[in-house]
Structure 1
Amino acid sequence: MSGKEHVSALRDLMRQEHVDAVYIGTADPHQSEGVATHWRAMQWFSGFTGTTGYCVITLEKAAFWSDGRYAAQMERELDSSVFELCNTSVQGTPGWMEWLVKNVGAGSVLSMDGEVLSIADFRKCRDYLKQYDICIRHEANYPGMLWIDRPDIPDAPVWELELLYAGESRKDKISRVRSAISDRNADCYLGCCLDDVAWLTNLRGGDHPIYPIFHGYLLITPKEVCLCMDEEKLSAAIRTHLEEDGISIFPRNEVFPLISRLTSGSRILMDPYKTSLKLFASVPKDVHIIEQMDIITYLKSRKNPTEQENIRTSNLKESAAIVRFIRHIYDRLETGTVTEYDLVRDLEIFRRMDPDYLMPANLAIIAYGPNAALPHYRPTEEIHSEVKKEGMLLFDICAHYKTGTTDITRVIPTGPCTEEMRTDYTLALKSNIALATQRFVYGMTGDVLDGVSKAVQWNHSRHFGHGTGHGMGYLLYVHEGPGKIITEFAPPFPYARQVPLDTGMLFSDEPGVYKPGRHGVRLENNLLVQEECVNEFGRFLKFETVTFCPFERSLILTGLLTKEETAWVDHYHEETYHKLSPYLNEEEKIWLGEKTQPLV
């Protein structure tokens, strides 16, 4: 059926069920960053293939929302005679609840799928809509009832992350989680987020093409640790190892009856931003719910010494691949035409040269010229640009190695560049250095440090609209909470303003300069938070740069750098050559040596 036919069939069902509107989004029961096709009802229903979007269907109208990255795609893939197209990046565009209020009357009923709706999102919607006498029904998934050929939940096998990579055993992690449960005056814990489940169990999976996760839940009670997942994903050996470590295996949906059988008077911890309304509703009335940030969210954010050392290694492996990739780009430019999408495919050749490489950690951003002014632009096989022998090329690429996850952005010249381009490159570099070299007293959150990087550009009457950095996972999600270096509230990181940065946390450092229709610059390294000192003024922290990939000396205007910044770049390049050389052949080392010469 087409989108128009899906809307018609849904309206027939709505009339039968006495529902006035249906909301269809892109979430799954785990509030995942990457959602399996099993839960992508919005794409199936509308025909829109982008990763971000949502729609609302009433008995008379329908509207679809996505951001500016997908504006052209919305127009191309959606039937405008069926859907009103709403670009959330355009000022004045009504939000979906505002639109709904204008298109249904008081006493109306809105359906939202409680299996994928978080507690926090439900309350936000409920509190807004009750002002207009609109109630939410959350027991049914009406689009799912129509989705006859709905894909199954992925069934890829899981694998164990060995101790030399994980750095801490399952037993030790469980012990720490139990201590944290007790510290919070609770006796039970519910974990829904897939990276949290993977972290505690030291398991990784293949349920998503760019995130090594598997679908499951954790329920920890005073008597047992319950891992609820599709059991066929487990080999006999892994199952034995889990049971030896005190983990009991249950079918994935058994989490609901397990929760419903909690002992009267129990106190269970759950995160309202990560727990679905359906799970919340399954908790018995005589069990006390304590709503807090997920325990594991914080524990896994502080990488242990083994993880930190492995992160340094993975960054060197990825940087060596990037050196080869840059040389390849110039070779292709000399021998013929090349497109952004060609380079997306070529990149994998150089990564696969390392036996520890597993998969991309995000869809590659390779953006030439004006495309680089769009921070989240991604070329596709259908839509991409040719890379020409002038201007600049930006690539923002993420990778999973057995030794960790990387996120690196560089900009290179593909031919002559203007003074304006070089100025913007240099200002982005200055912002990058500002965060990397900033010391700070313990207690600082990401919103404070965001200003450190942006102040550099404010002094030159420039500003970039995204956060300077995000927390990073270890062979999990490349974007990880609780921390994010951003001034504004960021919904995927609801605790960013509450949780201070601390030792072992890993962040990206990625300031940019974007000039729509002309060019864009972003320069990104990865930073580990380390101890600086403790004195009479308090406990002080610093950043350790763990990414070593050359900056483009030909784009740096040394007159805009301070003496300290110049010294930092020269030392960084000296370290880059020293650290990357063991990963390169002689020809590659000569090339890198030329790229890492002193600025002056």
Structure 2
Amino acid sequence: MSTHSARLAALRDQLSRDRLDGFVVPLTDEHMSEYVGAYAQRLAWLTGFQGSAGTAVVLPQEAAIFTDGRYTLQVREQVSGDDWQFVGVPDTSVAAWLGDHAADGARIGYDPWLHTRAWVEEARTALARVGATLVPVDANPVDAIWPDRPAPSDAVLTVQPDAVAGRASAAKRAEVADWLGEVGADATVIAALDSIAWLLNVRGADVARTPVALAYTIVHADGTADLFVAPEKMTPEVAEHLGNAVRVHDRAAFAPALATLAGKRVAIDPGFAVSAIFDRVEQAGGSALALRDPVVLAKATKNPVEIAGHRAASTRDGAALSRFLRWIADEAPKGGQTELSAAARLHAFREETGMLKDLSFDAISATGPHGAIPHYHVTEASSLPIERGQLYLIDSGGQYQDGTTDVTRVVPIGTPTAEMRDRFTRVLKGHIALATAIFPRGTCGAQLDAFARAPLWQAGLDFAHGTGHGVGSFLSVHEGPARIAKPTYGGPAPAEPLLPGMILSNEPGYYKAGEYGIRIENLLLVVERAIAGGEAVMLAFETLTLAPIDRDLIEVGLLTDYELSWLNAYHARVAAELSPALGAEDAAWLASRCSPVTR
């Protein structure tokens, strides 16, 4: 029996002891985070799945793992089909599957600290139709059978200086207090880790690749706040920075503290606050108001200091990436390089800037067939040699104190095929269409998504992931509330209007299963754009990312004059802005790769 098969069997034994007929294992933590600390990696430990989004359901005789289109191939590589059914979402939801598979009278367990109230209601309703019951557990049964489960990180908090943050925490908390007055609430529970970090101008190291700390915050109508964080994380510098208006408590005191909100009207974000928080407030006699976290939109619309910081980080990061692109172009055709060795070399180039705090996510270093897995995660076991005739895709980013980067480039190893060039150029055309879009205020990402897909659609092609996500300021590389996507990819319709100051990715792609993958990703800043003769100020994008786009993969005949002009102007900017940060040989290589593309 394999390790993961044994773990599945052990969980079934534990469920039997707990008088449960099933259990739901999501990939999240008590803050509904996308990326979680090692202590919360229950799904990976149980199944072997290494992706960043998924859920498992275990019943007595069957088990299923649910992933979206980004992981269709990856989940089958990493999880045993003998033990698990593979179910795609959103075509089928976890709740709907439970309603179809749970037995009459079954007791299906869930951890109320790992699910939203909306999910609980959906699952409860689906199970009730077949006579089954959804049961909250006091102790997670996966934890009971995980003997070497890591402890939560004990990394200390650090201060994000006002000079980098652009606004003081007191001013941010005063805005939240004003909002509480507007909605008639006495307090708000902030559960999202990046919201807490941004609001208090602190950062942490509790989640790999995301500079946040495990904490909760309650902000009151007078602008004061209660921060719940492990005592060992506090330093004198952080205490001085927070001041007397932020009272600090042990993180373990958070759940009991919710009882002190009796008689209060408490705003709680149903997307980030787990079911248990709503339950505790209401059981104490408080009124839980399901309202969006008041920090979310303010955090997403970057202030001028944050924007300037991101531009600086983009230049620094682009120089490191350009050095890598030269290295991979020289070294990969010689043989001897692998997906892991290439990722390590890019990490080293970023570290040589002297300003890298962390990567913004584990690099998607993928050659050949692995490139067709959009969110491929390379491991020692999966790492392939980079060989001639392949496309090598590298999606990576860095965490710098002044900005978070995320960029994808594709490099042909040897001579690309005509099909590769065609597909790459269609992806490039979609990338340019989105980068140059002009749109009125009130436009949301769903309305712009087709710009990036149309050149692929014209050839009967598409890609099964969103086109763009928000990016934080030395925070999460995936930041809400805005995104650019079809309604079917990654959740509900992306209906959040885009606003000046938002930073989003532009990353159309194409994936040929078993052969290669293509994605071109830059980060975009939403800006105002005055149109000569126009009747209103419009919105547009400024491209922030600076790195050469591989010219050997471009089928110039497919580009319009406008697209070719954009490409050459972009490359001229890349060379001009990155060359001062490069040595003579790297600068000369970059100049050659950024010289005008002609017909």
Is the contact made by 2:546 and 2:574 (CA closer than 8 Å) also made in structure 1?
A: yes
1:488 match: 487
Matched with 1:237 is 237
| 1:227 is aligned to 2:232 | no
Q: Aligned runs of 1:344-355 on 2, under 5 Å?
A: 344-355=343-354
Q: How far apart are the structure 1 equivalents of 2:316 and 2:400? A: 8
Residues 570, 596 of structure 1: 8 Å contact kept: yes
- Per-residue deviation, 1:15: 4.3
Take 1:386 and 1:218, find their aligned partners in 2: how far apart are those partners? 47
**Do the aligned partners of residues 579 and 8 (structure 1) sit closer, same or farther apart at CA in structure 2, a change above 3 Å counting?**
closer
Moved more, 373-382 or 429-438: 373-382
Deviation at 1:271, TM superposition (A): 1.1
Separation (CA, whole Å) in 1 of partners of 2:488 and 2:388: 40
Aligned 1:406-425 pairs, distance under 5 A: 406-425=405-424
C-alpha distance in 2 between matches for 1:550 and 1:32: 33
Tell me the equivalent position of 1:504: 501
Superposed, which structure 2 residues align to 1:164-183 within 5 Å?
164-183=163-182
Judging changes above 3 Å, is the alpha-carbon distance between structure 1 residues 418 and 500 closer, same or farther for their aligned structure 2 residues? Answer: same
Whether the aligned pair in 2 keeps the contact of 1:55 and 1:62 (CA below 8 Å) is yes
Other-structure match for 1:290: 289
C-alpha spacing 1:17/1:165, structure 2 compared with 1 (3 Å): same
**1:412 and 1:19, CA in 2 relative to 1: closer, same or farther beyond 3 A?**
closer
Q: Distance in 2 between matches of 1:203 and 1:16?
A: 43
SS at match of 2:113: coil
How far does residue 183 in structure 1 lie from its aligned partner after superposition? 2.3
Answer yes or no: is 1:579 the counterpart of 2:577.
Answer: yes
- Quick check: 1:267 aligned with 2:293? no
Q: Provide the C-alpha distance between the structure 2 equivalents of 1:17 and 1:174, rounded to a whole number of angstroms.
A: 44
2:513 maps to which of 510, 513, 516:
516
Paired residues of 1:434 and 1:456 also in contact (CA < 8 A): no
Contact 1:106-1:132 within 8 A present in 2 as well: yes
The total of aligned residue pairs comes to 589
In the aligned structure 1, how far is the partner of 2:42 from the partner of 2:253?
23
Paired residue for 1:588?
586
How far residue 177 of structure 1 moved from its aligned partner, in angstroms, is 1.5
Residues 1:526 and 2:523 aligned together: yes
Shift of 1:369: 2.5
- Matched letter for residue 129 of structure 2: Q
Q: Partners in 2 of 1:589 and 1:191 — Cα distance?
A: 46
How far does residue 278 in structure 1 lie from its aligned partner after superposition?
1.2
Instruction: Supply the AA of the counterpart residue of 2:205.
Output: G
Partner of 2:556: 558
In 2: Cα distance, 1:44 partner to 1:186 partner:
41
User: How many Å separate the matches in 2 of 1:334 and 1:457?
Assistant: 29
8 A Cα contact 1:34 1:208, kept in partner: yes
Quote the offset at 1:192 in angstroms. Answer: 0.5
AA aligned to 1:31 is M
Give structure 1 stretches of 5+ with no counterpart: none
Q: What do residues 548-573 of structure 1 show as CA deviations (whole Å, max 9, x unaligned)?
A: 11112222222211111111111111
> Which residue number in structure 1 is paired with residue 75 of structure 2?
70
Query: How far apart, in 1, do the equivalents of 2:164 and 2:307 lie?
Result: 10
**Cα 1:463/1:49, change in 2 over 3 Å:** closer
The one-letter code sitting in structure 2 at the alignment partner of 1:73 is Q
Identity of aligned residues (%): 32
Measured after TM superposition, the shift of residue 302 of structure 1 is 0.4
Instruction: Tell me how far apart the structure 2 counterparts of residues 6 and 574 of structure 1 sit (CA, whole Å).
Output: 55
Counterparts of 2:61 and 2:130, CA distance in 1: 19
Aligned to 2:357: 358
Is the Cα–Cα contact under 8 Å of residues 20 and 108 in structure 1 kept in the other structure? yes
User: Helix, strand or coil: the match of 2:318?
Assistant: helix
Matching of residues 420-431 of structure 1 within 5 Å: 420-431=419-430
Q: Return closer, same or farther for 1:556/1:86 CA change in 2, 3 Å cut-off.
A: same
1:429-440 maps to which residues of 2 (within 5 A)? 429-440=428-439
The aligned counterpart of 1:22 is 23
Deviations 1:25-71 (A, max 9, x none): 22211011112222233344456666554433334444444542121
After TM superposition, the structure 1 = structure 2 runs for residues 138-177 of structure 1, keeping only pairs within 5 Å, are: 138-140=136-138, 141-177=140-176
The equivalent residue for 2:248 is 249
Aligned-partner Cα distance in 2 for 1:548–1:360: 17
Distance across 2 between alignment mates of 1:9 and 1:426: 50
**Secondary structure, in 3 states, of the residue corresponding to 2:511?**
strand
Secondary structure at the counterpart of residue 298 of structure 1:
helix
Instruction: With the length of structure 2 as denominator, give the TM-score of the two structures.
Output: 0.92
Correspondence for 1:311: 310
Is the Cα contact below 8 Å between 2:98 and 2:126 reproduced in 1? no
Deviation at 1:102, TM superposition (A): 4.8
Assess, with a 3 A threshold, how the Cα gap between structure 1 residues 359 and 98 changes in structure 2: closer, same or farther. same
What is the TM-score with the length of structure 1 in the denominator?
A: 0.92
Q: Is the 8 A contact 1:356 1:403 kept in 2?
A: no
Q: Which moved more, 1:569-578 or 1:391-400?
A: 391-400
Q: Following superposition of structure 1 onto structure 2, how do residues 29-68 of structure 1 map, counting pairs within 5 Å? A: 29-46=30-47, 52-66=53-67, 67-68=71-72
- Residue 168 to residue 222, structure 1, CA distance change in 2 (3 Å): same
Q: Report the CA distance between 1:263 and its aligned residue.
A: 4.6
Q: In 1, Cα distance between the equivalents of 2:391 and 2:46?
A: 39
Q: Distance in 1 between matches of 2:48 and 2:388?
A: 37
**Residue identity opposite 2:221 in structure 1:** P
In structure 1, what is the Cα distance between the partners aligned to 2:191 and 2:149? 23
Contact map agreement 2:104 2:132 (CA 8 A) in 1 = yes
Distance 1:222 1:519 in 2: 54
The CA distance in 2 between the partners of 1:28 and 1:318, in whole Å, is 30
**Distance in 1, Cα, partners of 2:576 & 2:226:** 47
CA contact (8 A) 1:270 1:289 kept: yes
For each residue in 1:312-353, what CA deviation from the matched residue of structure 2 results, as whole angstroms up to 9, or x when unmatched? 111111110111101111332355421111101111111111
Take 2:50 and 2:469, find their aligned partners in 1: how far apart are those partners? 26
Distance of 1:344 and 1:180 partners within structure 2: 44
Contact 1:391 1:418 survives alignment (8 Å): no
CA distance in 2, matches of 1:59, 1:557: 55
C-alpha contact (below 8 Å) 1:115/1:278 kept by paired residues: yes
- Deviation of 1:95 after TM superposition, in Å, equals 5.5
